[in-house]
Amino acid sequence: MGKEILISVKDISKEYKMGEVKVKALKNATFDIYKGEFVVILGPSGSGKSTLLNIIGGMDTPTKGKVFINNNEITAFEEKKLTLYRRNEIGFVFQFYNLMSNLTAIENIELATEICKDSLNIENILKDVGLYDRKAHFPSQMSGGEQQRVAIARAVAKNPLLLLCDEPTGALDYETGVSILSLLNNINKKYNKTVVIITHNSAIGNIADRVLHMRSGEIIDTEINENPTDPERIEW
Ligand code: ADP
Ligand code: MG
C-alpha cells in the first residue's frame, strides 16, 4: 500500500488565555495521517484531543504551527476558504449527535448535504447505516445509537475527505458503542474514507490502523496495529 499523506500537522501549539491564566492545550504536536487510514487519538480527559480535532477540522486555529491537507495549508486559509473546507471536506461526528430536533432523520442529512458540492445518495447512506426504514423519524423517536447513526450518515453523505469523530461512543452503552465503531470501520473500508476517532477509552485503540497517544497536550507515542481488532471483539 503506497502511503499518501492526507493531513500533515506540523508543530502545532494552542494556548487559551482565561484572564490571567494561560492553558497550554497543545504543545508542539507533529504527525501525518494517511489517505484511507483509520486512526484513533487516545488520551485522558483534558489532554487536548478535542482542541486538536477542531484545529484539523478548521473550527479552531492554533497559536503556532501549520496544518496541511493534500498539501494545502488550511492554517493560512482566509475565512471564506475555511468555510468551504469545513463544508465540503470535513464530516464531523460528535459525542451528543448534534441533530436538529425539529427535522426528521432524512431532513437532517439533506440540510447538511444540500450546500455541499459533491454529496452522495442519501437513501443509499441511510441503508448503509441501517436506518432506511426510520428515515421519517425525528431524533426524539430514536435511541441514542440510532441518532448517532443518523449523525454518521449526515457526515458521510457530504462525501468529505475526512471523517472526524469526537468521542462518538461516549454517550452510548457498550453494545451500542461497539456497533457504532463497527459502522465507522465499515465506512472506512467501503468508501476508503479517512477516519479519525478521538477517545479516552483505551480499548478502542485496538481497532485502529494507528494509535496516537496524547498526554498533557503532547503526542507522546505512536503505535501501529499490524492486525487491528474487529470492533465486535473489543471489550471495556
Ligand atoms: P480533551 O478533548 O482531551 O478532553 P480539550 O482539548 O477539550 O481536551 O482540552 C484541553 C485543555 O484545554 C483543557 O485543559 C481544557 O480545559 C482547555 N480548553 C479547551 N478549550 C478551551 C477554551 N475554549 N478555553 C479555555 N480553555 C480551554
Ligand atoms: Mg474532548
pLDDT value at position 177? 96
Q: At what angle do helices 174-190 and 144-157 cross, to 10 degrees?
A: 20
> Residue 92 C-alpha to ligand 2 middle, in angstroms?
13
pLDDT value at position 181? 97
DSSP 170: T
Residue with cell 491537507: 69
In-domain check, residue 27 = no
The finding on whether 49 has its CB within 6 A of some atom of ligand 1 is yes
- Residue pair 166/92 in contact (Cβ under 8 Å)? The answer is yes
pLDDT value at position 128? 94
- Measure the CA–CA gap between 205 and 67, rounded to whole angstroms: 24
Instruction: State the residue range of the domain holding 184.
Output: 36-64+78-233
In-domain check, residue 8 = no
- Write the DSSP assignment of 51-108 as a string of letters: HHHHHHTTSS--SEEEEEETTEEGGG--HHHHHHHHHHHEEEE-TT----TTS-HHHH
In-domain check, residue 30 = no
What is the total count of domains within the chain? 1
Residue 73 is placed in which grid cell? 495549508
pLDDT value at position 1? 52
Helix (H) or strand (E) holding 212: strand 210-215
Nearest CA to ligand 1 atom 13: 46
Give the distance from CA 7 to its chain's centroid. Answer: 13
Q: At what angle do helices 144-157 and 105-113 cross, to 10 degrees?
A: 30
The finding on whether 16 has its CB within 6 A of some atom of ligand 1 is yes
CB atoms within 10 A of CB 166: 20
In-domain check, residue 95 = yes
In-domain check, residue 69 = no
Taking the CA of residue 52 as reference, the ligand 1 atom at the shortest distance is 6
List the chain pLDDT tens, one digit each, 236 residues: 568 999 999 999 999 998 999 999 999 999 999 999 999 999 999 999 999 999 999 999 999 999 999 999 999 999 999 999 999 999 999 999 999 999 999 999 999 999 998 899 999 999 999 999 999 999 999 999 999 999 999 999 999 999 999 999 999 999 999 999 999 999 999 999 999 999 999 999 999 999 999 999 999 999 999 999 999 999 99
The finding on whether 227 has its CB within 6 A of some atom of ligand 1 is no
Nearest alpha-carbon partner for 155 in 144, 139, 168: 168
Across-strand partners of 36?
A: none
Nearest CA to ligand 1 atom 22: 16
pLDDT one-digit tens code per residue, 219-234? 999 999 999 999 999 9
**Domain containing 109 — which CATH number?**
3.40.50.300
pLDDT value at position 2? 66
Taking the CA of residue 198 as reference, the ligand 1 atom at the shortest distance is 2
Which is it for the CA torsion 201, 165, 179, 219, positive or negative? negative
The finding on whether 199 has its CB within 6 A of some atom of ligand 1 is no
- Measure the CA–CA gap between 62 and 95, rounded to whole angstroms: 23
- Residue pair 25/16 in contact (Cβ under 8 Å)? The answer is yes
pLDDT one-digit tens code per residue, 60-83? 999 999 999 999 999 999 999 999
Which of 15, 23, 61 to probe ligand 1 with, by most ligand atoms within 8 A of CB?
A: 23
**pTM for the structure as a whole:** 0.96
In-domain check, residue 17 = no
| H helix and E strand count, the chain | 6, 10
pLDDT value at position 227? 96
Cβ neighbours of residue 114 closer than 8 Å, sequence gap 6 or more: none
Residue 155 is placed in which grid cell? 457526515
In-domain check, residue 26 = no
Which of 14, 15, 16, 18 to probe ligand 1 with, by most ligand atoms within 8 A of CB?
A: 16
Residue 58 is placed in which grid cell? 478548521
Residue 96 is placed in which grid cell? 451528543
In-domain check, residue 182 = yes
